[in-house]
């Protein structure tokens, strides 16, 4: 699923086992759009999530949390996200 948020922002959701929306649907925050799966060459169920700005991948970490982490937890997450092949399971 590639979701267009306007202003050049898109989010991509991959490795889903099935979709809960179809092309052209408008969705609201917290609406279920799909279900975690294990497709392609993945070895376990997970969600592949990307944030794109004007077609270029950007770090998704600042867009994933709604003030539910302490400053220390957020800083640790940002440092971990800078490492390659990082999973936040």
Question: What positions carry a catalytic annotation?
Answer: 46
Contact between residue 50 and residue 11 where contact means Cβ atoms under 8 Å apart: yes
How far apart, in whole angstroms, are the C-alpha atoms of residue 49 and residue 11? 7
Q: Which two tokens stand for residue 11?
A: 């989010």
């Amino acid at each position: 699923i590639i979701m267009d948020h306007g202003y050049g922002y898109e989010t991509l959701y991959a490795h889903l086992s099935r979709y809960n929306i179809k092309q052209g649907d408008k969705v609201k925050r917290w609406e279920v759009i799909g279900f975690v799966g294990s497709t392609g060459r993945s070895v376990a169920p997970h969600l592949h999530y990307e944030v794109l700005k004007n077609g270029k991948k950007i770090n998704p970490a600042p867009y994933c949390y709604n003030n539910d982490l302490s400053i220390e937890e957020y800083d640790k997450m940002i440092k971990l996200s800078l490492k390659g092949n990082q999973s936040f399971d």
